Amino acid sequence: RLTRRETDVLGRVLNGLKNIEISDDLGISEQTVKDHLSDIYMKLGVQNRFALASLLFNSPEFKHT
């Protein structure tokens, strides 16, 4: 289960934002974004953004707006 902040980061990743853009948007450091991404990858069993996007976009439960 992702935290609210992890979900915030995930949504921005799926919208194509880079780490620095996510950090600026959320008012957190770029390192904090990287830490959240590491936690997201671990929780979802993936190793990078491509695998993350592939997992989610191919999931029948996933609804991205």
Q: Mind listing the pLDDT tens digit for each residue in 42-65? A: 999 999 999 998 998 888 776 655
Q: For residue 7, give the amino acid letter.
A: T
Tell me what pLDDT residue 47 has. Answer: 96
The predicted-structure confidence for 3-19, as pLDDT tens digits, reads as follows 999 999 999 998 999 99
Whether the per-residue pLDDT at 31 is higher than 90: the answer is yes
Whether the per-residue pLDDT at 35 is higher than 90: the answer is yes
Q: Among residues 33, 36, 34, 37, which one has the least CA distance to residue 51? A: 37
Dihedral sign (CA 62, 15, 39, 52): positive
Tell me what pLDDT residue 17 has. Answer: 96
Q: Among residues 61, 64, 26, which one has the least CA distance to residue 9? A: 26
Which residues make Cβ contacts (< 8 Å) with residue 51, sequence separation at least 6? 41
Report yes or no on whether pTM surpasses 0.75: yes
